[in-house]
Copies of this chain bind each other. A is one copy, B any other.
């Protein structure tokens, strides 16, 4: 099966099933919290980070079942960050993946606890004995995910974003923000998927890190392009908000044509980094192309 659309649907289904099994049932106390955790995690999402974890595992020859928990853990961190990001004190967004956001469907306190509990569940998921083949590597995976989530990773990028809203950033500042806000978690999706099968050679790890850095930035460039060009119904979240909120985006530094060209440069660099994986790097290459060529 070399068809990317079919493979990505299979990964989306697998991710949905793995998450559904790992999330506590909605009839276990506290019922409302568990129902809300399932509400934000299940029933949609592009699942880009799980795709990256499975694709990176394939590139280094890890069996698929071994990657399930790493992929789910990274996705839980991502979903928790969206849940908190949508809160009134942050982006104050009502729509996510075409559904009311958590604090709209439930309430703010529940949305806060949903995010908090999902972060814990991500680490609990990754600390299960079956989540890695060696305990030493597993501790390293947990440390990588924690660092990528925290103040020198995703949460730190969100803090920079808050402070930057309403003022001009240059390209270096903008990329510093994105390397933290989205890049760190994308990189940990790639590394965790590969590490789930065991320790990596230095060269392999460096290739994966370079690939991840390039597609992380390309993802953000395209997010900014799509936010400006696409309507809310297609996007599944409120479109045009970045400009309306005075947020620094790539489109405050370059026009749409230049932004698309920049994304393609990053794509070429990502493809070059994984070239030595040959056939086994097929999915990583397809994801990189998808990120740059997607329309939502």
Task: Determine the distance from Cα of A24 to Cα of B87 in the docked complex, in whole angstroms.
Answer: 26
Chain A interface category by residue count: 35 or more
B139 and A135: CB pair below 8 A?
Answer: yes
CB-CB nearest in chain B for A162: B109
Contact A155 B113, CB 8 Å, known A120-B119, A139-B139: yes
Give residues 103-155 of A contacting B (CB, 8 Å): 107-110, 112-113, 115-117, 119-124, 127-129, 134-136, 138-140, 142-143, 145-147, 149-153, 155
Is B117 a contact partner of A119 (Cβ separation < 8 A)? Answer: no
A84 interface hit (Cβ, 8 Å)? yes
B90 touches A151 (CB 8 A): no
List of B residues within 8 angstroms of A146 by Cβ? 120-124, 127
How would you classify the secondary structure of chain A's contact residues: helix, strand, loop or mixed? Answer: helix
Expressed in whole angstroms, the Cα–Cα distance for A37 and B159 within the complex equals: 12
A109, closest chain B residue (CB): B89
At the interface, yes or no: A29 with Cβ under 8 Å from chain B? yes
Q: Given A30-B159, A124-B146, A159-B32, are A84 and B139 neighbors across the interface (CB < 8 Å)?
A: no
Which residue of chain B has the shortest Cβ distance to A119 in the bound complex?
A: B119
Q: Are A119 and B121 touching (Cβ within 8 A)?
A: no
What is the bound-complex CA distance between A58 and B121, given in angstroms?
A: 30
The complex places the Cα of A143 from the Cα of B135 at a distance, in Å, of 12
Contact B109 A151 (CB under 8 A): no
Which residues of A does B touch, CB under 8 Å? 24, 28-30, 32-34, 37, 80-81, 84, 87, 89-90, 107-110, 112-113, 115-117, 119-124, 127-129, 134-136, 138-140, 142-143, 145-147, 149-153, 155-156, 158-160, 162-163, 176
Q: Can you list 30 A-B contacts with CB-CB less than 8 angstroms, sorted by A residue number?
A: A24-B151, A24-B152, A29-B156, A29-B160, A30-B163, A32-B163, A33-B156, A33-B159, A34-B151, A81-B116, A84-B116, A89-B107, A89-B108, A90-B109, A112-B112, A116-B116, A116-B149, A116-B155, A117-B151, A119-B119, A120-B149, A121-B151, A123-B123, A124-B143, A124-B146, A124-B147, A128-B143, A135-B139, A138-B139, A142-B142
